[in-house]
Amino acid sequence: MTGANLDPRALRDAFGCFMTGVTVVTTLDRHSKPLGFTANSFASVSLDPPLLSVAIANRSANLLQFTQGNGFAVNILAEDQKDISASFARPAEDRFTDIYWRRGPVGSPLIGGVAAWFDCSLYATKPAGDHTLLIGQIGGFAATSAPGLGYYRGAYVTPVTTAAELPTGPDVVISAIFQAGDCVLLVDDERGGVTVPMARVGSSGVQGRLATLMRLHGVTAEPGQVYAIYEDMRTGTQHIALRCPTAQTAVQKGAFVPLSPEGDPEIADPALRKMLARLGREAQLGRYGIYFGNHQDGRVTTGTEAGTA
């Protein structure tokens, strides 16, 4: 969509689906040479007029071209574009040599195959510590159904990321969502309610800790794909939830219970209750997203379900 044809509702939905993805911000210098840098996030500023912001480091060699140019584009990379993200994150003479791009409706470079793009005229710049905020007025945008590429604690994350690819640490908690059809394994928690099998990752790594949880509960399941990554602001811990499909329903500890789109009232943790409610809705569709955010608010990158964990 471009110019006067911008649909505020479609624009709001596009912001909601892609606000946590890896982006490449692009512009043209005075010789019409394309320039760009990677950014892990951008923000919606206004819908009337339609504005967004992204930060560029003050030490960037391209600072003047972006702050004194006519505009810029925000390209939200698709999950299969890790190589493009890596290319723009390191110094290079010409990062666009092997990349297909075209000019957008406002004139900035749009990279081919991205999950979404926003082409903007430069509205304002604001100093922000060691960065400068670029505020752009959106002149055109488009979004596809392609899942976006995420970045978490030094690693790329997509809906098909596996346990072996995830970072670890003493403040990281893994939750194993063992799913058998429309049922999920629940175990007793310390507060008289129920929860999913979980443990601190520690030095075992996510894959090692997941194997331990399978052994303790007597479950044989697929290694698991990322279903949610969020920070619990109450405790300062990082949570990684892995959805692990299984055909097994007889276990040594806990029991498989039916999923509900409304959530299980016996689950004490609101974030977990909402996450399993989303799983119940998505299980009915057979289509799953990946959540990024905190224990209260965030987004599902595929756009399947936008809202809480």
Burial class of residue 32 in the structure, from the number of CB atoms within 10 Å of its CB (0-12 exposed, 13-18 middle, 19+ buried): exposed
Three-state DSSP class for residue 259: coil
259 pLDDT above the threshold of 80: yes
CATH class of the 3-148 domain in this structure:
mainly beta
What local confidence, expressed as pLDDT, does residue 163 receive? 46
- The CA-atom distances, in angstroms, between 91 and each of 38, 60, 63, 101 are 11, 10, 14, 19
Confidence (pTM): 0.51
| CATH numeric code, 153-300 | 3.90.79.10
Which pLDDT belongs to residue 121? 95
Residue 26 structure tokens: 């692009």
> Between these two residues, 238 and 130, which has the higher pLDDT value?
130
Per DSSP, the three-state class of 278 is: helix
Q: What phi and psi, each to the nearest 5 degrees, are found at residue 229?
A: -135, 120
Backbone φ and ψ of 4, nearest 5°? -70, -10
- What's residue 289's pLDDT? 79
The domain locations on the chain are 3-148, 153-300
What does pLDDT average to over the chain? 79
pLDDT at 301 over 70: no
Look at residues 195, 215, 212 and name the one whose alpha carbon lies nearest to residue 204. Answer: 212
pLDDT band at 307 (very low <50, low <70, confident <90, very high): very low
pLDDT computed for residue 169 by the predictor: 46
Q: What is the pLDDT of residues 51-64, one digit of tens each?
A: 889 999 999 888 99
Could you give the CA distance from residue 62 to residue 81 in angstroms, rounded to a whole number? Answer: 23
pLDDT at 166: 47
Q: Where are the alpha helices (DSSP H) in the chain?
A: 8-18, 63-67, 82-89, 205-217, 270-285
Residue 231 CB contacts under 8 Å (≥ 6 apart), including other chains: 237, 238, 239, 293, 294, 295
